[in-house]
Chain A
Amino acid sequence: MASVTYDHVWKKFGDFVALNDLNIHIEDKEFLVLVGPSGCGKTTALRCLAGLEEVTDGQVKIGDRVVNDVPPKDRDIAMVFQSYALYPHMTVFDNMAFGLKLRKVPKQEIQRRVEEAAAILGIEHLLKRKPRELSGGQRQRVAVGRAIVREPKVFLFDEPLSNLDAKLRVQTRAEISKLHQRLQTTFIYVTHDQVEAMTMATRIAVMNKGILQQLDTPQNLYDKPANLFVAGFIGSPSMNFFPAHLRKDGNDLFVDTGDFAVKIPEDRVKTYAPFAGREVIFGIRPEDIHNPQFAPPGIHAASVECKVDVTELMGNEIFLYMVSGKHNFVARVDPRTRFHIGDKVQLVFNMDNFHLFDPASDRENPVAIR
């Protein structure tokens, strides 16, 4: 077991910068998820740790040991690949035992460890089969088993659930979380699926264009996104954004989008007062927009008039695609709501949970105002 550190790590492929000064410290026994869209550098970061890519600059440490020049086989890590990478010509047992045989572990010990791992994963009955005789889920378990038997210091998972169907993905997600509890080892997990990230991680590193956007607990990422990218990436459906003007009116502050204006609660005026008179980006999550009839009591509600464009009944909730002037947004409302397409209605924004971003801080990715 060990901690992992990315210390000012750069990775370039020619002119393309895949990792841009990456700094992450992952504690021992932590379950860190690297998440971001395709091409954000998350897999490259994992591969640099595994030794499958050389870093251009900076240091990668496992524990206190700098592993930049250590070959993959000597890093004491085990990686589970997206495509499982099982050896077609070997049985499940041989696939799982392969790493141990290379280390010249005694036969009996190999037998014991493979059987133990197989029991944990519920694949004891598959040990004599070849990979081609297994289903996707079973192959995935064998790949995890092959990692477990090595008893590595760090487990690396590269989008291991991508090839599974939706139902199996949910089930396996929970199993990997349980496995982490059981093995008490450092897990580093790469995914583009923010639901996987939110449900499994102790901390999440959100990446975009090779740059670490925010490293925090799932709840903090959701509640306090550091910038517009994180705010938009975490949460489904995504947060609604409105370019707006911060207007001061006496002691009150209003976010004025041109089509509607909402009042900022008094307890947060002090934070945003210095930005009065400036352009901002107003963000609010679909789940913080309510049908007034079913709005939670005691919230700072701001009423907004809008028109229903599309409704999507999900069973336990309804997604409303709304139009207000030139702005479109999504609301996630109570399933008892009875709105119809074309209706002009009033919705309320929960102003206890809104976000403001400062476009002047970074035009491409405005930083949250706190």
Chain B
Amino acid sequence: MSKRNTLWSWFWMILGGLYFFLPLLATFEFSLKARKGVYSFLAYERVFADPLFLRTFIFSLEMAVFTALAGILLIFPTVYWIRLKLPQLRGLIEFVSMLPFVVPAIVLVFGLIRVFSGAPFFLTNTFTGTNVLLVAAYVVLTMPYLYRSIDTGLQAIDVRTLTEAAQSLGAGWGTILFRVILPNVRVSILSGSFLAVATVMGEFTIASFLVGIRAFGPYMSLVGQNKTYESSSLAIISFALTWAFIGLIQLLNRGRVQTQIAGAH
């Protein structure tokens, strides 16, 4: 590559970096100005001292974990079965998995409330019922991430041969699914799960309609409306959390290089 091209590469990289990091740095700098005239972590202290912060954070984290678990239990066996027995349906399932990107969250949540708040479900009448509905909605919302990562993981192994080998070795379907296939797509499932968790943690629309201020997203929005410096510090905390999740995915991916043994072409 010529020297001129290298310079241009650096120029575009620095420009992109500035575009991304400058607002973040400005927000961080602003979040440190809660005490007049000096930089301090006062806004962060106030956020952490607010009991609502911890309560909403834990609530959303719980919902996120349930969402990831429910999503895995629903999507992993489905994708496996489609790859094994109904490969002709893959196109259709891929299309369906993309629907949450197309259907706005507001439409989804109104639909859910309309269907499940009345007879025979009455789910919105209790906290537990609403939480169940929230998790169900989040499973739909995060389906594209989980579906994509699990499908990619299964693509990297020879599902059919591994299954047949296990069958002839005396394994039942449960053993095949959880002791043969799952360990080979663990990294993909974890990646998808982290993406799902990160999405749920910051989700606003569905949470505000179903559980309101009990969830982290609506809490962040409320703080943003009322408290100037705290909202900036919350934005930085959210960023840090998301990056921590991405870092974890990277760490897991680096630790386990998936190699394809079965079906070595």
Interface string of B240-265 (1 = CB under 8 A from A): 00000000000000000011111110
Cβ-neighbour of B184 out of A87, A103, A136, A163 (below 8 A):
A87
Q: How far is the CB of B133 from chain A (nearest CB, A)?
A: 37
Residues of A with C-beta under 8 A to B184? 87-89
Q: Report yes or no: B261 in contact with A102, Cβ–Cβ below 8 A.
A: no
- Given contacts A86-B262, A87-B184, A88-B157, are A81 and B164 in contact (CB under 8 A)? yes
- Interface 1/0 per residue, A102-121 and B, CB below 8 Å: 11000000000000000000
Q: Is the CB of A84 within 8 A of B169?
A: no
Chain A interface residue bracket vs B: 20 to 34
Tell me the smallest distance from the CB of A185 to a CB of chain B, in Å: 15
Chain A stretch 79-137: residues in CB contact (< 8 A) with chain B: 79, 81, 83-89, 98-99, 102-103, 131-132, 136
A84 x B262 contact (CB < 8 A)? yes
Give the distance to chain B from A186, nearest Cβ to Cβ, in Å.
Answer: 15
Chain B nearest CB, measured from A40 CB (Å): 20
Q: Could you tell me the distance in whole angstroms from the C-beta of A282 to the nearest C-beta in chain B?
A: 43
Rounded to whole angstroms, the CA-CA distance of A46 and B222 in the bound complex is 66
The CA-CA distance from A150 to B262 in the complex, in Å, is 20
**Does A52 make an interface contact (CB < 8 A)?**
yes
Determine whether the beta carbon of B262 is less than 8 Å from that of A99: no
Flag if B167 contacts A52 (CB, 8 Å). Answer: yes
- Alpha-carbon distance A29/B260, docked complex (angstroms): 35
Q: Is the CB of B259 within 8 A of A132?
A: yes
Q: Is A336 engaged at the interface, CB distance under 8 Å to the other chain?
A: no
Is the CB of A201 closer than 8 A to any CB of chain B? no
- Which residues of A141-191 are within 8 A (CB) of B? 146, 150, 156, 163
A139 contacts B by Cβ under 8 Å: yes
Q: Which residues of B contact A150 (CB under 8 A)?
A: 169-170
Would you list which residues of chain B between 157 and 203 have a CB under 8 Å from chain A? 157-158, 161-162, 164-172, 175, 180, 183-184
The answer to whether A85 touches B161 (Cβ under 8 A) is: yes
Flag whether A72 is at the interface (Cβ < 8 A): yes
Contacts of B171 in A (CB 8 A): 73, 98, 102
- What residues of chain B lie closer than 8 Å to A156, measured between beta carbons? 168
Task: Tell whether, in the assembled complex, residue A72 and residue B168 are in contact, meaning their CB atoms are under 8 Å apart.
Answer: yes
How many angstroms between the C-alpha atoms of A59 and B31 in the bound complex?
A: 77
Known: A86-B262, A88-B258, A88-B262. A81 touches B165 (CB 8 A): yes
Q: Which residues of B contact A89 (CB under 8 A)?
A: 183-184
Most buried by B among A75, A83, A146: A83
Which residues on the A side are within 8 Å of B263 (C-beta)? 83, 85
Q: Which residues of B contact A86 (CB under 8 A)?
A: 261-262
Tell whether A77 pairs with B261 under 8 Å between CB atoms, given A87-B162, A88-B157, A88-B184: no
- Is A225 an interface residue when CB atoms closer than 8 A count as contact? no
Are B157 and A73 closer than 8 Å at their CB atoms? Answer: no
| Interface contact A85-B164, CB-CB below 8 Å | yes
Cβ contact within 8 Å between A85 and B183: no
Q: Which residues of B contact A79 (CB under 8 A)?
A: 164-165, 168
Is the beta-carbon distance between A83 and B161 smaller than 8 angstroms? yes
A292 to B263, CA, bound (A): 51
Task: Tell me the bound Cα distance from A52 to B169 in angstroms.
Answer: 12
Query: Smallest CB–CB gap between B118 and chain A, Å?
Result: 45
For A89, the closest partner residue in chain B by CB is B183
How far apart are A101's CB and chain B's nearest CB, in angstroms? 9
Tell whether A102 pairs with B258 under 8 Å between CB atoms, given A52-B164, A85-B162, A88-B184: no
Q: B264, A73: Cβ atoms under 8 Å?
A: no
CA distance A146 to B164 in the complex (A): 14
Q: Check A99 against B170 for contact (C-beta < 8 Å).
A: yes
Known: A85-B263, A102-B169. 18 other contacts (CB 8 A): A71-B167, A73-B170, A74-B170, A75-B168, A78-B169, A79-B165, A83-B262, A84-B261, A87-B180, A87-B183, A87-B262, A88-B184, A88-B262, A89-B184, A102-B175, A132-B259, A146-B169, A163-B264
Nearest first, the 6 A-B pairs at minimum CB distance are A85-B165, A99-B169, A73-B170, A132-B259, A89-B183, A72-B167
| Pairs across A and B, CB under 8 Å, 23 listed | A50-B164, A52-B168, A71-B167, A72-B167, A73-B170, A79-B164, A79-B168, A83-B161, A83-B262, A84-B261, A84-B264, A85-B165, A85-B262, A86-B261, A87-B162, A87-B184, A88-B258, A88-B259, A88-B260, A88-B262, A146-B169, A150-B169, A156-B168
